[in-house]
Amino acid sequence: MTKTEKRNMVLGLLFISPWIAGFILLTLYPLISSAYLSLTDYSVLSKPIYIGFDNYERILVDKLFWQSLWNTFYFAALSIPINLLSAIFLAVLLNFDLPGKKIFRTIYFLPSLVPMVCLGVLWQWMLNGQIGLVNQALWPVFDTFNALFGTTLTPPNWLADPAYAKAGLVLASMWGVGNAVVIFLAGLQDVPRALYEAAELDGCNFWQKTIHVTLPIISPVIYFNGIMSLIGSFQVFAVPYVMTNGGEGPGRSLLFTATYIFNKGFEAWSMGYACAVALILFVIILTLTLLATRLSERHVHYASK
Amino acid sequence: MPPIKILPITLISLGLVLLYSLVHNPAPPPRSDGRIEIEYWEKWTGFERDAMADLVNQYNASQDRVFIKFLSVSNIDRKLMLATAGGNPPDVAGIWSSNLSVFASNGALTPLDKKLAQSSLEENDYLPSVWQQLTVYNRVWALPTTPGSNALHWNKRLFREAGLDPERPPKTIAELESYNDRLTQFNDAGRIELMGHLPMEPGWWSANWSIWFGGDIWDGHSRVTATSEANMAALDWIESYPERYGAEALMGFRQLSGVFASPENPFFRERVAMVLQGPWMYNFINNFAQPDFEYGVAPFPTLREEDYGASLVECDCLVIPQGAKHPEEAFTFIEWLQRPKQLEALSLAQLKFSPLQEVSEDFYARHPNPYIRVYRELAENPKARIRPQMVTFNEFSSDMENAIDEVVRDEKSAHDAAEEVQNRQQELFKYKHQNWLQIREARLAEWDQR
Amino acid sequence: MNSKSVRLVQRICIYVILLLGAFVFIAPFAWMVSTSLKPLNETMSLPPRWLPSVIQWENYPLAINEMKLFWRYTANTIFLCVMTVIGTVLSSSLAAYGFSRIEWYGRDKVFVLVLATMMIPFPVVMVPLYTLFREMGWIGTYKPLWVPSFLAGAFNVFLLRQFFLTLPKELEEAAKIDGANELQVFWLVILPLAKPALIVVALFQFMATWNDFLGPLIYLTDQSDFTLALGLQAYQSKGGGTDWHYLMAASTLVVLPVVVLFFFTQRYFVEGIATTGGKG
């Protein structure tokens, strides 16, 4: 290394030293200590007692753990595609040069600013099976349908019904889709006009243009958002926690892995066990992200810059 | 060089923070009057809190050595554990007796035996059903504030309208259910308008239904008994609800229930005619029900006649967390509260009954709740029961609530639901119990030292 | 039909969809405010009333009163917001500078590590973090909530680095010729230019702290130290429950500052979010 290189190295490391400290204290140390604690029986007040792989063995047969994992996957599988699609859809519509588009953008964006706790409280109220606003809007639809086909269907009791509780949570999370809409809007503005014009010359209509021009070009943005919402959906905690008043939902349908870690660690005080669950969650997220990256290499189109 | 506008922003922010830290003082300085400050956390809110606040003020005025700082804390069980683990617990905390076994086995509490031996307080002063709850692992962990028992509360007007004798509450489960069928009303749309009785209302004792069915969910030692004859009978009884009234209709009905402490409580709104509840109902009925609300209180019906008079006795109690800074002063305060005068004042203001054996002559005359003797007699009754002091009771309770939920929604048979709870909880309990046995000796020695 | 009228029909369709959608997105806000102004019995009436028969403004002071420490919670939250914003802006811009304006061996490899740490959700590390802060005697204090913000979070470093990379190299070269050292370049040249990006980071951090729930939930023990989010949840789950009109009033009060802040800083929000969208 030359003298300048050495100097730069020292300077660079000095500048990033806050991050290095943070990385060691807030990421590395917790992960390592988590790995150790997961091999112990540890209830905060007493010293951790080494028990080998007991916690992991118990997790394997722990019905609640599997249910929490299933709920988490279910929620991710339901919410990510729905949220991505609706965000892209809204972004495409908002990208048109229409009168009042600024106002529309603001309206669609605002809900994403609502704090989680408020969101939980509000949607617990919105999703009440009898007097909630959601079902008030659905009743006319169901009434018409019933009148037409002679059925007696009723809107679901959302948060009181295990079959619909997660769908209710997805509705609540969709309300906050505005963040992703803004990202996609920015992505759309990057699409060169010339490409659209070329497609028009080839006789493409609006949807063909969207599918063949817009989507491939914004695919890196879609990928990035997909990953971020994947990670986000694996740490969903506050909204279901608040919606169920700190509970687990009907039939434990809103017991997510993050909730389970919290319950085990800070309600049952089995911190060793909670660490083991947390590590498993970490491995799952890691695997999924790597898989997604692999997949994206094949399907994501990166424009050469 | 351009002028930096970030600097003023940073300075203003820093100024704000400084200003704030001047106003906000996380670690209060020693009191200027030289008194020792005792922090006391209590779970109560509203009038129950005010009742204790009065006593705290009296205590603060009665001497000049100690000052009690009284704080109302929500989710107290978790907050107390967090604070104790963090090494910064309050000196006194008011928790539920049902949490004692978990807190004690985790080493979060100071045993009170030595302090009790030096004090004038004695076991015989208290109702056995109350004292029993304060003792876990043969040690006393808490002293009581106000106990409660639960009983059937019924709406007399609705009884009359259904052609039932309003002065004759049901005494057996069979009778309760025949009343229920007469009281329950559906509207044209198939919605339930009025329920005679609903086991999920309020749903606070889901794990303890077996009490009224002549059994328990734990053998007191090493076995969970969720599938005992009594608990199965209770679950079968609950299973009959969706069978008779329809799972959908029940779910819809429950969605219309407002929060407990409000006029939208279905019992106060006269949408449920009979509920299992406790002495605090007097206050809530006064506050939230119509002025002409007419109700009675009697022991909750039992499966077998010979069990009639059984109830669950619970107790709010005071503990000294492990690591409290002033345990001696804390105990002195608790001891002061245990005087009959103070306990009766508290019971009166909280509209409950006294945990002491002896009750002063005019206590009942002064008590506003006309039914207070019913609750007290339930607590005196030898059939009175307490929550199982099982370290995994919280987990059990959560599983049982879920099982009942599944049964009511008609997703599982009572039998399958109970089996599942039994298998899971027995495993969990066995594991926790084994761990306990391993650290038992060390813990006991630790406690004896304190 | 000619292509012009097809266009027009298309635009009208889109307009109608957007209008309907906007209605759906506003409805929860409207419902929240409407409920917060109702008398209690109208909150639970069936069929529900869209608007209160009488507007009960007193629900707001009553809710604040019932929440007891509402103003205290607000002050606590603002304190935490200010601390974390200062911490984040300072530490992240330093780190971002180190990752963008200085060439050093292995820099980009380390930066991949920065990005990778974004993948670790808080619940994964919360138990060991709790035990760490416990060892330090920080439980029940604000320190676990603001000190980490002085240790450059990955997301903000990423965002600022993206911005720093767009600044021309000549800037610092000129300054260095004038005799400025690296820190002076950072403080006197880059930071003033990066003001829009810094505002974005500050805004995001403000929002994150204002919203944070799980952190305060496990670190704070004393009710008088609670933040608004935690205080609202505690209010919701208090013994006996909380009536809906009060809950909605309290929620409205917690949402309101965020909405107001947004209207003043809209441009930064939108630009900031757009930058985070994986355009790099």
Q: Is residue A42 part of a domain?
A: no
**Whether residues C107 and C153 fall in one domain:** yes
Q: Is residue A305 part of a domain?
A: no
| Subunit contact C141:B26, Cβ cutoff 8 A | yes
**Whether residues A75 and A221 fall in one domain:** yes
Of the candidates B393, B297, B308, B300, the residue with the CA atom closest to the CA atom of residue B353:
B297
**Whether residues C17 and C136 fall in one domain:** no
**Whether residues A248 and A289 fall in one domain:** yes
Distance to chain B for A247, nearest Cα, Å: 9
Q: Is residue A50 part of a domain?
A: no
**Whether residues C12 and C76 fall in one domain:** no
Q: Is residue C272 part of a domain?
A: no
Q: Is residue C175 part of a domain?
A: yes
Radius of gyration (C-alpha) of chain C in whole angstroms: 24
B84 touches chain A (CB under 8 A): yes
**Whether residues A200 and A148 fall in one domain:** yes
What percentage of residues in chain A have a pLDDT greater than 90?
Answer: 50
Q: Which residue blocks in B350-413 are alpha helix, DSSP H?
A: 363-366, 372-380, 393-408
**Whether residues A169 and A273 fall in one domain:** yes
Residue finishing a domain among C33, C59, C85: C59
**Whether residues C30 and C111 fall in one domain:** no
Q: Is residue C54 part of a domain?
A: yes
Helix (H) or strand (E) holding B151: strand B151-155
Q: Is residue C191 part of a domain?
A: yes
What distance in Å separates the CA atoms of residue A16 and residue A3, rounded to the nearest whole number?
20
**Whether residues C53 and C78 fall in one domain:** no
**Whether residues A9 and A121 fall in one domain:** no
Of B442 and B62, the one with more pLDDT: B62
Place of tokens 């009754």: B381
Q: Is residue A215 part of a domain?
A: yes
pLDDT score of C81: 95
Domains in chain A: how many in total? 2
Chains with 3 or more CB pairs under 8 A to chain B: A, C
Q: Is residue A194 part of a domain?
A: yes
Between the alpha carbon of residue B232 and those of residues B152, B206, B210, B227, the distances in Å are 21, 13, 8, 6
Instruction: Check: CB of residue B110 under 8 Å from CB of residue B102.
Output: no
Among candidates A121, A190, A261 on the partner chain, residue whose Cβ is nearest the Cβ of C232: A121
**Whether residues A76 and A17 fall in one domain:** no
**Whether residues C98 and C204 fall in one domain:** yes
**Whether residues A21 and A115 fall in one domain:** no
What range defines the domain where residue A241 resides? 56-299
What distance in Å separates the CA atoms of residue B417 and residue B411, rounded to the nearest whole number?
9
Q: Is residue A154 part of a domain?
A: yes
A186 touches chain C (CB under 8 A): yes
Domains and CATH numbers, chain B: 36-149+315-380 (3.40.190.10), 151-310+387-432 (3.40.190.10)
**Whether residues C71 and C53 fall in one domain:** no
**Whether residues C153 and C232 fall in one domain:** yes
Q: Flag the least confident range among B256-260, B343-347, C99-103, C217-221.
A: B256-260
Please report which confidence band the pLDDT of residue A302 belongs to, taking 50, 70 and 90 as the band edges.
low
Q: Is residue C277 part of a domain?
A: no
Q: Which residues of B touch A129 (CB under 8 A)?
A: 251-252, 255
Please report which confidence band the pLDDT of residue A206 belongs to, taking 50, 70 and 90 as the band edges.
confident
What percentage of residues in chain A have a pLDDT greater than 70?
Answer: 98
Q: Is residue A114 part of a domain?
A: yes
pLDDT score of A276: 96
pLDDT tens, position by position, B364-416? 999 999 999 999 999 999 999 999 999 899 899 999 999 999 999 888 999 99
Q: Is residue C82 part of a domain?
A: yes
Per-residue pLDDT, averaged over C46-73, amounts to 87
**Whether residues A159 and A231 fall in one domain:** yes
Give the tokens for residue B291: 């002025």
Q: Is residue A234 part of a domain?
A: yes
Q: Which residues of A touch C205 (CB under 8 A)?
A: none
| Subunit contact B409:A161, Cβ cutoff 8 A | yes
What range defines the domain where residue C85 resides? 67-242
pLDDT tens, position by position, C106-124? 899 999 999 888 888 899 9
**Whether residues C90 and C54 fall in one domain:** no
Q: Is residue C251 part of a domain?
A: no
pLDDT score of B40: 95
Q: Flag the least confident range among A292-301, B386-395, C59-68.
A: A292-301
A46, A61, A63, A128: best to mutate for the B interface, most B CBs within 10 A: A46
A24, A101, A118, A261: best to mutate for the C interface, most C CBs within 10 A: A118
Q: Flag the least confident range among A14-23, B3-12, B229-238.
A: B3-12
pLDDT tens, position by position, C145-195? 999 999 988 989 998 998 898 888 888 888 888 888 888 889 988 999 999
What distance in Å separates the CA atoms of residue A275 and residue A43, rounded to the nearest whole number?
12
Per-residue pLDDT, averaged over A260-278, amounts to 92
**Whether residues C150 and C14 fall in one domain:** no
Instruction: Check: CB of residue B123 under 8 Å from CB of residue B73.
Output: no
**Whether residues C46 and C93 fall in one domain:** no
Q: Is residue C50 part of a domain?
A: yes
pLDDT score of C37: 94
Domains in chain C: how many in total? 2
C76 touches chain B (CB under 8 A): yes
Backbone angles phi, psi at B112, to 5 degrees: -100, 0
pLDDT at C279 > cutoff 50: no
What distance in Å separates the CA atoms of residue B290 and residue B161, rounded to the nearest whole number?
17
Please report which confidence band the pLDDT of residue A304 belongs to, taking 50, 70 and 90 as the band edges.
very low
**Whether residues C40 and C129 fall in one domain:** no
pLDDT at B3 > cutoff 50: no
Instruction: Check: CB of residue B145 under 8 Å from CB of residue B55.
Output: no
What DSSP character marks residue B192? Answer: E
Q: Which residues of B touch A248 (CB under 8 A)?
A: 398, 402
pLDDT tens, position by position, B167-186? 999 999 999 999 999 999 99
pLDDT at C280 > cutoff 70: no
Cα torsion at B147, B152, B155, B161 (round to 10°)? -170
C179 touches chain B (CB under 8 A): no
Nearest CA in chain B to A267: B78
**Whether residues A101 and A157 fall in one domain:** yes
Of B361 and B156, the one with more pLDDT: B156
Q: What is the CATH number of the domain that holds A247?
A: 1.10.3720.10
